[in-house]
Amino acid sequence: MHLTPETLADHDRNYRRNFYNTLPGPRGVHLIGTKGHRGTENLGVFSSVVHLGASPALLGFHLRPLTVPRHTYHHLKAQGWFTLNTLHPAILQQGHQTSANYELKTSEFAATGLTPEYSELCKAPYVQESQVKIGLTLEEEHYIRANDTYFIVGRIRELFVPEAAVLEDGHVDHEQLQTLAVTGLDTYLRVADGERLPYARP
Amino acid sequence: MHLTPETLADHDRNYRRNFYNTLPGPRGVHLIGTKGHRGTENLGVFSSVVHLGASPALLGFHLRPLTVPRHTYHHLKAQGWFTLNTLHPAILQQGHQTSANYELKTSEFAATGLTPEYSELCKAPYVQESQVKIGLTLEEEHYIRANDTYFIVGRIRELFVPEAAVLEDGHVDHEQLQTLAVTGLDTYLRVADGERLPYARP
C-alpha cells in the first residue's frame, strides 16, 4: 500500500495520529521523573529515549510526551535534573496511568501508587519499582521548529541496575529484566528471542 | 547496583560502550538508505529513530550510526532525501551486515544482497525486502555540542506498508509484521504479547 501525507489527509485526526505513531515500529518506553521548584513530583510516559553516546554518557528524548508536556519541561528547567525509569509487566498498569492528564499540583506517584525514591545525588525522584533507573542532568535543549517541540539532551550522573542483569562484557540483559517496549501511545510489548550477532566486517 | 560514570571508568572502553548502549532498554532498529551525488547508494543500521509528530509527519534520528556515519550524513546533505526501512527476521543477517565498515564507493546493497528500489518521488533507495518503507526529506539538523553528533529531523513524504497490517483505527501491527527491536549494537529481539491499554484518565 503506497501512501502520502496527502492521501492520508482523507482519514480523521485520530487515525492519522495512530498511524504515524505506530508506523516506525516498536521503541523503548520510560517513565521520566521530575520535581518542580515548589516540590511537586511529576511522572510521565515517554517513548522517545535515544542513546547518544558513552563518553560522555548521554541520552536524549523528545519532549512531546504521552502526558502533559509542560510539567516535565518546566520542572526540568527549574531544577536541571530528571530520571529515566524502565517499565516491566508488574508496573505496566500504573506506569500507563501516569499518562493521564493530571493537574500540575497532583503527583502522578500519589495518583498511581508508584513510589518516589531519592538518592543522595539526584534531585529528581526515581520510581522505586523500576528495574533500571538513571539520574541525569539537563545538558542541552534543541528547539524543533517544524512542530514547536524540543529534543532534550541529558548527561548520566548515576544509575541503578540489578547486578544479575549485567553480563560480563557490560551488556544489560533486558529480556531477563522483562523491560517493555511500546508501539504508538498504548500498545506495550514484551521482547523475546534475543539474537546476538557478531561484529560485522566487510 | 549503584553506578556512576566515575565508578564505571574502571572498566575498559568496550565494556562501557556495551553498558551504556544497552542500558536504556530495547529500541527500534532501521536501515537508512541514501544516495550520494555521484550515485553511490548507502545503507546503514540505526537504532535511534523517534516519532516527532503526525502533523506535519516528522521523524528524527541520531546520527552516530552503527556504521560509518559520514556516508549517510554526506549523502543526506547532498541530496536531501533518505529512507527508513524496518528489519524482520528474514533479512536480519543482511541488515546487520550493512553495519560493517565498507568504503564509501561500496554500495551496502551490493555487498549484502539487499535490493535497492526506487519510487517516482523519492531520490533515495528503499530496501525492497523491508516491510515498512518511509521516504523523507531533510527538514532540520541539530548539532549536539556535548559529543559532536547530530539529531536529524525528517519529514515523511511517502511510505509503503502492507495493507493487512494496518488496523481499522490506523494502528500498524508490528507483531504481525515481525518488526525487530534491538538492544545495544548487536542484540536483535522479537516483540510479542502486545497489550493495548485504554486511554488513561485521571
Could you report the per-residue pLDDT of A10-51, keeping only the tens digit for each?
Answer: 999 999 999 999 999 999 999 999 998 888 999 999 999 999
Segment A42-100, tens digit of pLDDT: 999 999 999 999 999 999 999 975 455 578 888 898 899 999 999 999 999 999 999 99
Tell me, yes or no, whether A168 lies in a domain: yes
Domain around A95 = 27-189
Type of residue found at B121: L
Q: Which residue of A has its CA nearest to B119?
A: A2
Residue A68 covered by a domain: yes
> The CATH number of the domain where B50 resides is what?
2.30.110.10
Residue B198 lies in a domain: no
Q: SS3 sequence, chain B? A: CEECHHHHCCCCHHHHHHHHHHCCCCEECEEEEEECCCCCEEEEEECCCEEEEECCEEEEEECCCCCCHHHHHHHHHHHCEEEEEECCHHHHHHHHHCCCCCCCCCCHHHHHCCCEECCCCCCCCEECCCCCEEEEEEEEEEEECCCCEEEEEEEEEEEECCHHHECCCCCECHHHHCCCEEECCCEEEEEEEEEECCCCCC
Q: Per the domain annotation, does A146 fall within a domain?
A: yes
Average pLDDT over residues A151-165: 98
User: Is A202 within a domain?
Assistant: no
- Residue segments in chain B with a per-residue pLDDT below the cut of 50: 66
Range 5-64 of B in CB contact (< 8 A) with A:
5, 8, 11, 13-30, 47-60, 62, 64
> What average pLDDT does the segment A158-176 reach?
97
Instruction: Determine which of A111-120, A186-195, B58-67, B190-199 has the lowest per-residue pLDDT on average.
Output: B58-67
Residue A70 included in any domain: yes
Structure confidence at residue A66 (pLDDT): 47
Residues 108-147 of A with CB under 8 A from B: 111, 119, 121, 132, 134, 139-140, 142, 144-147
Spatial separation of the C-alpha atoms in residues A115 and A109, rounded to whole Å: 6
Specify whether the backbone of A80 is left (phi greater than 0), alpha (psi in -120 to 50) or beta: left
| 8-state DSSP, A106 | S
In a domain, A194, yes or no: no
pLDDT of residue A101: 87
Total number of residues shown for chain B: 202
| Residue B73, pLDDT score | 87
| Exposed / middle / buried, residue A118 (Cβ in 10 Å: 0-12, 13-18, 19+) | middle
Using the predicted structure, report yes or no on whether residue A9 has a pLDDT greater than 60. yes
Query: For the purposes of burial, counting CB atoms within 10 Å of the CB of A123, is it exposed (0-12), middle (13-18) or buried (19 or more)?
Result: middle
- Residue A20 within any structural domain of the chain: no
Q: What is the ipTM of this complex?
A: 0.94
The domain tally of chain B equals 1
pLDDT band of residue A105 (cuts 50, 70, 90) is: confident
